Chain A
């Protein structure tokens, strides 16, 4: 079974721009979660999608948004980028919800200059 894939792997943007990151979950997995990881902050939960609906949301500003398509693929978007948005963005998929183990993609390293 193919693992979770994320594209792109690396991205450099300037302040004020917007960015879209993509995640393809493991086949059969319906839940996709997004995390932001920065040094010293651990994993910060962004949101979780299940069957095209946002089921859980973390404490991030509205500049961070996401969606899930009917094939379970998910995208997250960050508008009006700030320097503090520089981070590793991780996508994880699981069968149903967080009661099940999550499988992570390699992440997208976003650098905002």
Chain B
């Protein structure tokens, strides 16, 4: 069954520390898409990154980087030199085909990150 697991419910770090948020997924499909979203205290979810299953290249965007490893079904997210503004709930999501041949988004439960000054 399709599933996304974010084992870390809450993480607390001190500013400037590096932090990695884990995401493990399960799917039967060979073509699927993975996402990370950020939900700051204001509540509005913000799209961070999209990855398709055929592209295992790691990606870096400023202080953010993503490590996609199909062999371990993981799509981990690292924030380097964390800042207080990074405090948010981060969600990992998987898009694959459901029984009706439509794409459906499966969400992890989120990891709440607190960056303390």
A101 x B47 contact (CB < 8 A): yes
A88 x B43 contact (CB < 8 A): yes
B1-54 contacts to A, CB under 8 A, are 33, 35, 37, 42-47, 50
In the complex, A99 Cα to B105 Cα: how many Å? 8
B44 x A98 contact (CB < 8 A): no
Question: Does A102 lie at the interface of the complex (its beta carbon under 8 Å from any beta carbon of B)?
Answer: yes
The number of A-B residue pairs with CB atoms under 8 Å apart is 53
| Chain B residues whose CB sits within 8 angstroms of the CB of A98 once the complex forms | 33, 95, 103-105
In the complex, A31 Cα to B117 Cα: how many Å? 40
- Given A43-B107, A88-B43, A98-B95, A56:B33 Cβ within 8 A: no
| Chain B residues whose CB sits within 8 angstroms of the CB of A33 once the complex forms | 105
Closest-CB distance, A39 to chain B (whole angstroms): 11
Closest-CB distance, B72 to chain A (whole angstroms): 23
Chain B contributes a number of interface residues (CB within 8 A of A) equal to: 22
Closest to A4 in B: B44
A22-55 contacts to B, CB under 8 A, are 33, 41-43, 45, 48, 55
A42 x B108 contact (CB < 8 A): yes
B108 x A97 contact (CB < 8 A): no
The 7 closest A-B pairs by CB, nearest first: A98-B105, A104-B45, A42-B109, A98-B95, A97-B103, A101-B47, A98-B103
